[in-house]
Amino acid sequence: MSSPDTVLGTGEKRKLTLLAADLADWYRQGGGRSFPWREPGTPLYQLVCVEVLLQRTRAETVASFYHRFFTRFPGWQDLAEAPVEVLEEFLKPLGLWKRRAASLRALAAYAAKHDGMFPNRYEELLQVPAVGQYVAHAILMFQHGERFPLIDVNMARVVERFVRPRKLADIRHDPWLQQACKWLVRRGDPKKVNWSVLDHAALTCRARNPDCQSCFVSSRCAFKAA
């Protein structure tokens, strides 16, 4: 029998449904941020690479680097064939360049070999080099149109503040948090719902000094109530 701490309750689902709808409306009305990879028609190659570049890096930093990177490496084949020293040097402004270079080259080698197509099943995706939960969710959403959340510390913060804290330290393995984030993207355009949550985390529900006074969902927020 599942512990109550690991099961998403009916009331929690209702709160998250309302939160997703409010954030989607806010985003639709221009409340979110604007980045080049969010433009209509952005190739899958760029969308996936950006998710690797965004890890532990501010989106604004990646945006300033975006056009330079994809001009130098315009496709999977170009990235796969790039000498690792060249790629590492190019990625130095973002930090963690060795790790990023290894991840991007591994993804590129697979994609170039498979004509840019990734598996459409989560378990199979995890067998692809350099693909963990976050990148797998991104691929399933961007390439296969599946409803998956881009769960990182920012999305976790919004969900946990609005509803309740998770129990496990690792967000990848907390069953309640995983269910809650998946519930958030069950309706509407999953890309825009994901982006609206991440933008709310960056602009209002910040890790430090959250702007609860101007938050348009604070009346239902457990963190604000406490």
Q: Is 51 a catalytic residue?
A: yes
Confidence of residue 25 (pLDDT cuts 50, 70, 90): very high
| Claim to verify: residue 81 and residue 165 sit in the same structural domain | no
| Claim to verify: residue 42 and residue 29 sit in the same structural domain | no
| Claim to verify: residue 123 and residue 155 sit in the same structural domain | no
Asked whether residue 226 is assigned to any structural domain, the reply reads no
Which whole number is the average pLDDT over 4-16?
A: 91
70 token code pair: 């994809």
Confidence of residue 1 (pLDDT cuts 50, 70, 90): very low
**Is the pLDDT at 6 greater than 90, yes or no?**
no
Cα–Cα dist 165/162, whole Å: 9
Q: Per-residue pLDDT tens for 34-79?
A: 999 999 999 999 999 999 999 889 999 999 999 999 999 999 999 9
| Claim to verify: residue 178 and residue 194 sit in the same structural domain | yes
Asked whether residue 2 is assigned to any structural domain, the reply reads no
Asked whether residue 53 is assigned to any structural domain, the reply reads yes
Asked whether residue 225 is assigned to any structural domain, the reply reads no
| CATH code, 165 | 1.10.1670.10
Question: What range defines the domain where residue 118 resides?
Answer: 36-142
Cα–Cα dist 7/20, whole Å: 19
| Claim to verify: residue 164 and residue 114 sit in the same structural domain | no
Lookup result for tokens 């690479």: 49
| Claim to verify: residue 53 and residue 126 sit in the same structural domain | yes
| Claim to verify: residue 60 and residue 109 sit in the same structural domain | yes
| Claim to verify: residue 190 and residue 214 sit in the same structural domain | yes
Per-residue 3-state assignment (H helix, E strand, C coil) for the chain: CCCHHHCCCHHHHHHHHHHHHHHHHHHHCCCCCCCHHHCCCCCHHHHHHHHHHHCCCCHHHHHHHHHHHHHHCCCHHHHHHCCHHHHHHHHHHHCCHHHHHHHHHHHHHHHHHCCCCCCCCHHHHCCCCCCCHHHHHHHHHHCCCCCCCCCCHHHHHHHHHHCCCCCCCCCCCCHHHHHHHHHHCCCCCHHHHHHHHHHHHHHCCCCCCCCHHHCCCHHHCHHHHC
Instruction: State the catalytic residue, choosing from 51, 60, 89, 146.
Output: 51
| Claim to verify: residue 123 and residue 45 sit in the same structural domain | yes
Q: What residues contact residue 76 under an 8 Å CB cut-off, 6+ apart?
A: 45, 107, 108, 111, 112, 116
| Claim to verify: residue 136 and residue 213 sit in the same structural domain | no
| Claim to verify: residue 81 and residue 131 sit in the same structural domain | yes
| CATH code, 43 | 1.10.340.30
| Claim to verify: residue 132 and residue 107 sit in the same structural domain | yes
**Is the pLDDT at 4 greater than 80, yes or no?**
no
Task: Name the domain boundary from 92, 122, 142.
Answer: 142
Q: In the chain, how many domains are there?
A: 2
Q: Per-residue pLDDT tens for 138-193?
A: 999 999 999 999 999 999 999 999 999 999 999 999 999 999 999 999 999 999 99
